[in-house]
Structure 1
Amino acid sequence: MKRNILIVDDHLVVRTGVAIILKNEIEGIEISEAKSYHEALSMISNTLFDLVILDINLPDGKNTEMIAEIRSIQSNLKILMFSAHEEEYHILRFLQSGANGYLNKLCDEEIIVEAVKSILEKGEYISNDLKMKLTEVERNIELINPFYKISNREMEIVKLLVMGLGNLEISNALEIQMSTVSTYKNRVFDKLKINNLVQLIEKYNQYYS
């Protein structure tokens, strides 16, 4: 079965190099390339892909919002973030927002192949070394601010709840189903280890007032 992979990077040398490595080492794949986030969205809207290798620092990129936007077009598309920088705090935000893995552009060829194979077969890839670093970062940040574990979308819900909006009003404001609002709300309560809206407001004011 052929697997379609989209490489999104604004540098031609990077796109070409990764494409050559993958074509030489992985059978049954079709490689497409996009030089910008805008071009990538257009291609994803018209072609089914199994994996997108997405540069974190695209000039027209939208940070972690890219993940939700891509998934709104193809919900099952795997996303491997690609960057020359290994700042654990930044990487963690992308993974919490739904990315399936992270790959450093400066890694060896065999790591690139391993990462792509892992995501295609298992649905995720994070090196053991990075996983240990991220665990430590997450532990330390959680002690400082428990809202760090809340995703960007969940944080939107939190702010609207704190403003006094109900589920129906949030549903209309964000153009999502009421059941979806409830799902996000329950996730937030679980992550923050709280049981009701009063506790949410108290905790939010504790860290953001």
Structure 2
Amino acid sequence: MNVLLIEDHFCAREGVANLLKQLFADIQVSEAETIDQGLAIAESVPLSLVLLDVNLPGKDGLIGLKLFRQQFPNLCMVMFSGFDDKDLVLEALGLGAMGFISKNLPRVVFVEALQDVLAGKLYLPVSIINQSGLALNFGRSQLPNRHRTEPQTLGLTVREFEVLAAVVQGKSNKLIARQLGIQEQTVKNHLRPVFLKLGVVRRTELLVKVFEMGVVFGRPEVGNNKL
């Protein structure tokens, strides 16, 4: 498993890199201080995951997230920060981050967060979920843990579930249509019942709801393939 860690503070970067190597026996960690360095690495290294700090010199983490999503739409991106402001977290999700991990997490929770995103789950700070105000129809415990969720469990068709998975990855309707070989209007037609069945009206609400339900879409594709 190849992980790219983009963090400008040397001590923090080295500490996280060493922790990752201790926790995962098969991991290879590439390090970068800036977005441009990270993008250059991603051009040549088949990555499984990018851990991206929010506060970076030059291009910040959100700008970096946009650039990575544009160039590598299938790459699993996770924001990594010392704070978890709700608006910041939801903006990162809207841009396609698969998670937002606090630097202040206990070791065991940090490991679980990484395992979740590598298994195809979203990961969000508990504080954000507590602020979301979204009503749940059922809890996470009613869905299989780390096993791919079946579309019928959510009351969705197979195609609706495929579209939902692409939305969670931060893909636009145009890109989803291209990926699935359908028209952009057809994507919109599939999204309407998804929003209705999950009881949300905006994409950010949809992402939070997916997290709260513990939905698993399957392990993200490994590699930086471009559509």
Q: TM-score under structure 1 normalisation?
A: 0.62
Structure 1 gaps, min length 5 = 140-151, 158-170, 193-209
Tell me which residue corresponds to 1:58: 56
SS in 2 for 1:113: helix
CA contact (8 A) 1:21 1:113 kept: no
Change (3 A) 1:153 1:71: closer
CA contact (8 A) 2:96 2:171 kept: no
SS in 2 for 1:122: coil
5 Å matches for 1:1-209?
3-62=1-60, 64-133=62-131, 135-136=132-133, 182=185, 191=201
Task: Among all aligned residue pairs of Structure 1 and Structure 2, give the percentage whose two residues are the same amino acid.
Answer: 27
Change (3 A) 1:25 1:63: closer
SS in 2 for 1:52: strand
Structure 2 gaps, min length 5 = 136-169, 196-200, 203-227
Please give the alpha-carbon distance, in whole angstroms, between the structure 1 residues aligned to 2:183 and 2:57. Answer: 32
Change (3 A) 1:131 1:41: same
SS in 2 for 1:64: helix
Larger radius of gyration: 1
Change (3 A) 1:183 1:37: farther
Please give the alpha-carbon distance, in whole angstroms, between the structure 1 residues aligned to 2:86 and 2:129. Answer: 9
Deviation of 1:132 after TM superposition, in Å, equals 2.3
Deviation of 1:63 after TM superposition, in Å, equals 5.2
Deviation of 1:18 after TM superposition, in Å, equals 0.4
Instruction: Report which of the two has the higher share of helix.
Output: 1
Please give the alpha-carbon distance, in whole angstroms, between the structure 2 residues aligned to 1:70 and 1:180. Answer: 25
SS in 2 for 1:102: strand
CA contact (8 A) 1:38 1:60 kept: no
CA contact (8 A) 1:9 1:54 kept: yes
CA contact (8 A) 2:61 2:79 kept: no
Query: Aligned-pair RMSD on alpha carbons?
Result: 3.3
Which amino acid is the alignment partner of residue 116 of structure 2?
S
Deviation of 1:115 after TM superposition, in Å, equals 1.5
Q: TM-score under structure 2 normalisation?
A: 0.58
Please give the alpha-carbon distance, in whole angstroms, between the structure 2 residues aligned to 1:23 and 1:63. Answer: 23
SS in 2 for 1:85: coil
Change (3 A) 1:59 1:153: farther
Deviation of 1:123 after TM superposition, in Å, equals 3.5
- Bigger relative contact order (CA 8 A; separation at least 6): 2
Please give the alpha-carbon distance, in whole angstroms, between the structure 2 residues aligned to 1:63 and 1:25. Answer: 25
SS in 2 for 1:24: helix
Please give the alpha-carbon distance, in whole angstroms, between the structure 1 residues aligned to 2:50 and 2:171. Answer: 21
Q: How many residues align?
A: 158
Q: Which moved more, 1:88-97 or 1:65-74?
A: 65-74
Which amino acid is the alignment partner of residue 90 of structure 2?
L
SS in 1 for 2:55: coil
